[in-house]
Chain A
């Protein structure tokens, strides 16, 4: 994926209002793989007795990162939407730490893209959450460029 397309992807993702609200940051993007991170934020806590971030915020990170992976795939989708997304919460994210997600678009058909994603905090060896999802693939109309 060339530099121009990567910059475009970054601007596109970071301009999404909900991605802005969660302060998501695109760390890397290339040919079907995206890495996006989210800072720790007390407003997103799900359990004040532990300070752990709510799963709903992690869902948004996983969904955005998965969509970015689809858009960066060499198949050149012009748009995508989530069909379904399943998230497994393996452990609580450590309060105070940034959560980083890596999503990989591992298969694309004419109309559907399949994605796997994993989320980590500072402990790279133990994932916080894992996701699998199916996404729509919108293509440019044939004959038009």
Chain B
């Protein structure tokens, strides 16, 4: 029995990056914050490049708690949407040549979001990763961890619950 030849690497990357790009472009607030996403296979790392407008306490200076919260919530929503569309990207149900923000499934809606501020957010880049702890047909629970210089020293973490968009079968 012969296996089909594996897809060329650039085809795989192009498909995944196009889908991620469409997902991120569909959220104006991501551009407002300046958040970028780094993809390694299906793993996403959100990056919040430092910008002066993100400061909440000019004396320290420190990142605004609201900027941190927004960064974590964006990371959770994109992480959840990404895990939700991954199978459709890989199976070809979502056509990479035709992905636009309008053609992607609706975004999950935040039910609640709790942010735990562990350390002062320093005036430099921040990173975050989301972990989908449970994703059912209607509800999902997502945990997010954010750090700056040192992956093991989190400066904030959050847990959110989300209402999943209706799936048309």
Residues 85-104 of A at the B interface (beta carbon under 8 Å) = 85-89, 92
Pairwise interchain contact A17-B54, C-beta atoms closer than 8 A: yes
Q: Which residue in A55, A64, A84 is a CB contact (below 8 Å) of B117?
A: A84
Task: Establish whether residues B112 and A45, one from each chain, have CB atoms under 8 Å apart when the complex forms.
Answer: no
B145 on the interface (CB 8 Å rule)?
A: no
A81 to B58, CA, bound (A): 13
**Complex alpha-carbon distance, A56 and B102, angstroms:** 21
* A84 engages B53 (CB within 8 Å): no
- Determine whether A9 belongs to the interface, using a CB cutoff of 8 Å to chain B: no
- Enumerate B21-42 residues with CB–CB distance to A below 8 Å: 26-29, 31-33
Look across to chain B and name the residue whose beta carbon is closest to the beta carbon of A42. B28
A1-34 vs B, CB cutoff 8 Å, 1 = contact: the mask equals 0000000000000011111111000000000000
Q: Any chain B CB within 8 A of the CB of A47?
A: yes
- State which of B32, B62, B67, B106 has its C-beta within 8 Å of the C-beta of A49: B106
Judge whether B32 and A47 touch: CB under 8 Å.
no
Mask, B118-148, CB within 8 Å of A = 1, is 0010000000000000000000000000000
* Contacts known (A18-B53, A18-B54, A86-B113); A63 close to B65, Cβ less than 8 A: yes
Please give the distance in Å from A136's CB to the nearest CB on chain B: 9
CA distance A89 to B109 in the complex (A): 9
Which residues of A line the B interface, CB within 8 A? Answer: 15-22, 42-49, 53-57, 59-64, 67, 79, 81-89, 92
10 of the cross-chain contacts (CB-CB < 8 Å) are A17-B55, A18-B53, A18-B54, A46-B27, A54-B27, A56-B33, A56-B70, A63-B69, A86-B113, A87-B112
Given A63-B64, A86-B113, 5 other A-B residues pairs in contact with their CB atoms under 8 A: A18-B53, A22-B66, A46-B77, A56-B33, A84-B117
